Chains A and B, each alone.
Chain A
Amino acid sequence: MSDTPILIQNVSRSFYGVPVIKDLNVSIKAGSIYGFLGRNGSGKTTTIRMLAGLIKPDQGTVRISGNDPFLIGAEERQRLGYMSEKAVISPFAKVRTVLNLGRGLYPNWNSALADSLVAKYSISPKRRLTTLSQGSQRIFSFILAIAPRPNVLLLDEPAANLDVVARREILDDILELIRDCGCTVLFSTHILSDVERVADEIGILANGTLRVSEQLDSLKDSIRQVRFYGFKNGIPTGEIPGSYRTVRSKDEIIVTMRINAEATADAIAARWLCEQETRALNLEDIFVELSRN
């Protein structure tokens, strides 16, 4: 298995002249869980659809286990699980019909796992998909994605429309899957508590550009909000190295920035002849700060 089963290099994609993804670079290590965050329309689904081989990038390279996902055939697809953002299975299909399809297409289909999850979430095999609740449809899509025991799992908003209990259970199932087969997971979500619960690494996408991509703990440790105030020589102008967002008012500057050896809040305050106050941010604050236009 490849060291980086999910690889996106210099990828751009637009729809009818409107850029959606701009020069995106992501590499995800084998066996890790990558949380993909971003506002609505930030390009998460487009990225995942490129990884699933549904659309092609205009520029750049997308690879799943070393292969172009748009060109892979049945053999390689057996190792790729995908759950779409919406219920995209025909509404006329019955649960049993779709499970039979899985059995027919995947030699490694884990019937015991699929049947046990269908029973666990009280999904009747006799029912048509259209008669299931939206939450049950999401769960069923999730079951279909994991039953073949894939090496790479792409989940687009897996927890949308789910109640808290079902969400927790699905996240537990993801973790169990990782434990069992070392599967690499990329999942997009708006629910930050889910990311904190399961993700090793996160990426925040804003306006088609990846703002950060790193370990969750490292991100929380390195990004701070700093308030500079009490300027002796007036408000300075110019960019602050490592800053993501800067708000200037009459007598203060609030900067969301990455603190590192070159750009410490103290060093900047000394240069600007002012006071500073540093505040740690939780993931939600970081997400909001980095995603704002």
Chain B
Amino acid sequence: MNSTKQFWTLLKFQSAVAPFAWVLPFAFCTPLMFMSQAEPSLNLLLLTQNLFLVLLLGALVLVPEIFTTASGNQTGGLGAEFILTRAVDRYMLARAKAVFFYIAALVAPLAIVIYSLRRPDLHVSIYPKLVQLDCLSHVPGSALITGNGGRSDIVSIPSGNVLIATWRTWEILALAIIVQVFVYVIHPFKHRRYFFWALILIVSFAPMLSTYSKRGSIPWDEHAFFCYAANQSYFWILAVGALFVSQIWCERRFGRLEQ
């Protein structure tokens, strides 16, 4: 059978049987609220509490049977059993699932990138002097300006809204790659569900760790953003390279997994 036809048939089927995947874009639209504010705080802009949704989406689309016991028995309505016993190539099924997953995960951040083009420049509040200096030294074109009421903590970042939107897209892409590899790694384990929920907890609470950074140090998420701003092309080359390598590995892995 024609591989291209098989791929499109599987992709269409995936989108039809996983309508829950389209809930995610709505959840990611919350940053739009902050974009409409004048002089928002940078740490508020970078705070992402809904990254765990990428994990849930990944598991539900790629290996829904992860939520069931790994007894090698039936997986209810969730598993890949039905589709794997049709006339499909395993690697093609893994590819169709992955494409659907990445589309569903990235559609909202990409929409936010487009939305940010309406008002690309950003005036953002960065209070600690150390963070201000880090920003000014890394982010091209950034400059201290005097804000409303003579405030001295305002930094102007040309195309800052676009920068933040693409940073968020990069974060989600990187997380999606990690999720895809992770779920295929833990798939054969008896207690895979617990490994998965542990990762959900880590990803959910990781952004909060930035609020506990030591006095006089730069929060890791802000520093990561500044590094991204300074080396965007390297970040994207790294992500796309990782995407290709992980995809090849996951397709092979899926071919060997039992249901």
Please list the residues of chain A having a beta carbon within 8 angstroms of any beta carbon in chain B: 15-16, 45-46, 49, 52-56, 73-75, 77-78, 80, 82, 84-94, 97, 100-102, 104-107, 129-130, 148
**B residues 75-100 with Cβ under 8 Å of A?**
75-79, 81-82, 84-90, 92
Pick 11 A–B contacts, CB within 8 A, sort by A.
A74-B1, A74-B92, A75-B87, A77-B86, A84-B81, A88-B74, A88-B77, A93-B13, A97-B17, A101-B13, A105-B9
Cα(A93)–Cα(B17), bound, Å? 5
> In the complex, what distance in Å separates the CA atom of A17 from the CA atom of B176?
34
Name the A residues within 8 Å of B18 (CB-CB): 90, 92
Q: How far is the CB of A269 from chain B (nearest CB, A)?
A: 46
A117 to chain B, nearest CB (A): 17
B17 adjacent to A15 (CB under 8 Å): no
Q: A86-B76, A91-B77 are in contact. Are A54 and B84 (CB under 8 A)?
A: yes
Given A74-B92, A78-B87, also A55-B19 (CB < 8 A): no
In the complex, the chain B residue whose C-beta lies closest to that of A93 is: B17
Pair B76/A54 contact, Cβ less than 8 Å: no
Q: B72–A84 contact, CB under 8 A?
A: no
Q: How far is the CB of B210 from chain A (nearest CB, A)?
A: 37
Contact B81 A88 (CB under 8 A): yes
Which residues of the other chain, A, contact B90 by a CB distance below 8 angstroms? 73
- What residues on A are CB-neighbors of B81 within 8 Å? 54, 84, 88
Q: B73 interface residue, CB < 8 Å from A? A: yes
Task: Indicate if the CB atoms of A55 and B74 lie closer than 8 Å.
Answer: no
Query: Does A97 lie within 8 Å of B85, measured CB to CB?
Result: no
Chain A contacts of B259 at CB under 8 A?
A: 49, 54-55
Q: Are A92 and B84 in contact (CB-based, < 8 A)?
A: no
Cβ-neighbour of B16 out of A15, A55, A97, A106 (below 8 A): A97
Main secondary structure of the interface of B (DSSP, over half): loop
Q: Closest chain B residue to A76 by CB distance?
A: B87
| 5 more A-B residue pairs beyond the given contacts A88-B75, A92-B20, with a C-beta to C-beta distance below 8 A | A53-B85, A56-B258, A73-B89, A74-B6, A94-B16
B82 & A84 in contact (Cβ 8 Å cutoff): yes
Q: Mark B1-29, 1 if CB is under 8 A from A, else 0.
A: 10001101100110011111000000000
- Select one of A54, A87, A90, A106 contacting B17, CB under 8 A: A90
Chain B residues with CB under 8 Å of chain A are: 1, 5-6, 8-9, 12-13, 16-20, 71-79, 81-82, 84-90, 92, 190, 258-259
B76 and A45 contacting across the interface, CB-CB below 8 Å: no
Q: What is the bound-complex CA distance between A54 and B86, given in angstroms? A: 11
A-side contacts of B79, CB under 8 Å:
88
B77–A90 touching, CB < 8 Å? yes
**Contact (Cβ within 8 A) A92 B258:** no
Q: Which residue of B lies closest to A137 (CB)?
A: B77
- Chain B CB within 10 A, most for which of A80, A102, A105: A105
What is the bound-complex CA distance between A73 and B17, given in angstroms? 23
Contact of B9 with A101 in the complex, beta carbons under 8 Å: yes
In the complex, what's the smallest C-beta–C-beta distance from B8 to chain A, in angstroms? 8
In order of increasing CB-CB distance, the 9 nearest A-B pairs are: A104-B9, A90-B17, A82-B85, A54-B259, A77-B87, A78-B87, A55-B258, A93-B17, A91-B77
Docked CA distance A232–B81 (Å): 61
Q: Do the beta carbons of A106 and B87 come within 8 Å of each other?
A: yes
B19 near A92 (CB under 8 angstroms)? yes
A105 B75 Cβ-Cβ under 8 A:
no
Closest to B8 in A: A104
Chain A residues positioned under 8 Å from B77 (CB to CB)? 87-91, 129-130
Please report the C-alpha to C-alpha distance between residue A75 and residue B72 in the assembled complex, in whole angstroms.
26
CA–CA, A49 to B79, complex, Å? Answer: 13
Give bound CA distance, A54 to B85, whole Å. 8
* Residue in B closest to A102 when the chains form the complex, CB atoms: B86
Q: Which residues on B sit within 8 Å (CB–CB) of A55?
A: 72, 258-259
With A78-B87, A88-B81, A93-B16 already in contact, the answer to whether A54 and B1 are too (CB < 8 A) is no
Q: Which residues of the other chain, A, contact B85 by a CB distance below 8 angstroms?
A: 52-54, 77, 80, 82, 84
Which residues from chain B contact A93 at a C-beta distance below 8 Å?
13, 16-17
Closest beta carbon of chain B to A76's beta carbon, Å: 9
What residue of chain B has the Cβ atom nearest to residue A108's Cβ?
Answer: B87
**Given that A88-B82, A105-B6 are known contacts, is A74 also in contact with B89, CB under 8 Å in the complex?**
yes
Q: A89 vs B84: C-alpha distance in the bound complex, in angstroms?
A: 11
Q: Bound complex: CA of A102 vs CA of B87, how far in Å?
A: 9
* CB–CB B84/A53 < 8 A: yes
- Minimum Cβ distance to chain B for residue A138 (Å): 13
Task: Check B86–A75 contact: CB distance below 8 A.
Answer: no
Query: What's the Cα separation between A87 and B81 when bound, in Å?
Result: 10
CA distance A49 to B73 in the complex (A): 9
Complex Cα distance, B13 from A13, in Å, reads: 33
Shortest A111–chain B CB gap in Å is 15
